[in-house]
Amino acid sequence: MRQLLISTALVVLLAACGPAAEQNASTPPAPSAQPSAPAAASVAPAPDTEALQAAIAALPAPYNEATYEAGQRVFAQCRSCHTIEADAPNRVGPNLHGVFGREIGSLEGFNYSQPVQDANFVWDAAQLDHWLANPQTFLPGNRMAFAGVRNETQRRDLIAYLMVESAPAP
Ligand code: HEC
C-alpha cells in the first residue's frame, strides 16, 4: 500500500515537472545586451537627493549655500513635535507645510498659546531665523518647549530644508 502511494506521488511529480522542463529547454537564451548598465546605475548618486540639492541651489542667498542633508539632520530635532508633509496631522506642534507666507498661529484646528495667537506677522525666513534661534525670547510665554538652534549655519541649513520641504507641490 505504501509502495503504491510513493509511486503514485512520483508519477504526479514527474508529470508536473515534465512540461516545465520542456518549456525551459525551448526558451531561447536571454540576449546579452547592455553589459555595463547595472554597474553605471550603482555608481550614480540617488536622484532624489540630487534634485533636492538643486532646489536648494535655486533659493535666495544665503539659503542657496545650504546643504539639504544637513538641514534634514537639524529638522530631526523638530520631528517629534512637527510634521512637514502636506496634509500630515498636527503633533504637539502644528504641521509646518506651507509655513512660509502663513500668518503666525493661523493653522486651522491647532490650539495655539495666547502669545502666539496675539502675535501678528507672516512667517518668512527672517522671522523664522529669530524664532528658531531662541523661541522664548522671540515670543515670551509661547508653548514651544524647545531651546532653539544657536548655530547660525545649522539654522541656515534648517530654513533652506524647510523652504524646500514645506513648499506646495509644483
Ligand atoms: C517639544 C515640541 C516642539 C519642538 C521640539 C519644536 N516645536 Fe515648534 N512648536 C511647538 C509648539 C507646541 C508650537 C505652538 C506654540 C504656541 O502655540 O505657543 C510650535 C510652533 C512652531 C512654529 C509656529 C507655527 C505657526 O503655525 O505659527 C514654527 C514655525 C515652529 N514651531 C518650528 C519649529 C522648528 C523648525 C523646530 C525644530 C528646530 C521646532 N519647531 C521644534 C512644539 C515644538
Tens of pLDDT, residues 27-77: 455 555 454 445 545 566 677 889 999 999 999 999 999 999 999 999 999
Ligand 1 atom closest to Cα of residue 145: 1
Residue 98 CB contacts under 8 Å (≥ 6 apart), including other chains = 86, 166, 167, 168
Q: Ligand 1 pocket, 82 CB below 6 A? A: yes
Q: Which of 16-25, 88-97, 138-147 has the lowest mean pLDDT?
A: 16-25
pTM equals: 0.78
What does the pLDDT look like over 76-129, one tens digit per residue? 999 999 999 999 999 999 999 999 999 999 999 999 999 999 999 999 999 999
Tracing cell 537639524 back to the chain, one arrives at 74
Ligand 1 atom closest to Cα of residue 105: 27
Per the CB < 8 A criterion, the answer to whether 91 and 80 are in contact is yes
pLDDT given at position 150: 98
- Cα of 146 to ligand 1 centre, how many Å? 8
Taking 80 as the threshold, does the pLDDT of residue 24 lie above it?
no
Ligand 1 atom closest to Cα of residue 132: 38
Domains (range + CATH), the chain? 46-166 (1.10.760.10)
Taking 60 as the threshold, does the pLDDT of residue 139 lie above it?
yes
pLDDT given at position 48: 86
Ligand 1 atom closest to Cα of residue 104: 27
Alpha carbons 68 and 66: distance in angstroms, whole number: 6
Taking 60 as the threshold, does the pLDDT of residue 11 lie above it?
no
Positive or negative CA dihedral for 70, 71, 72, 75? positive
Q: Where are the alpha helices (DSSP H) in the chain?
A: 2-26, 37-43, 47-57, 68-75, 114-118, 125-133, 135-138, 152-166
- Cα of 45 to ligand 1 centre, how many Å? 33
Alpha carbons 143 and 117: distance in angstroms, whole number: 11
Q: Ligand 1 pocket, 112 CB below 6 A? A: yes
Taking 50 as the threshold, does the pLDDT of residue 8 lie above it?
no
pLDDT-derived band at 22, boundaries 50, 70, 90: very low
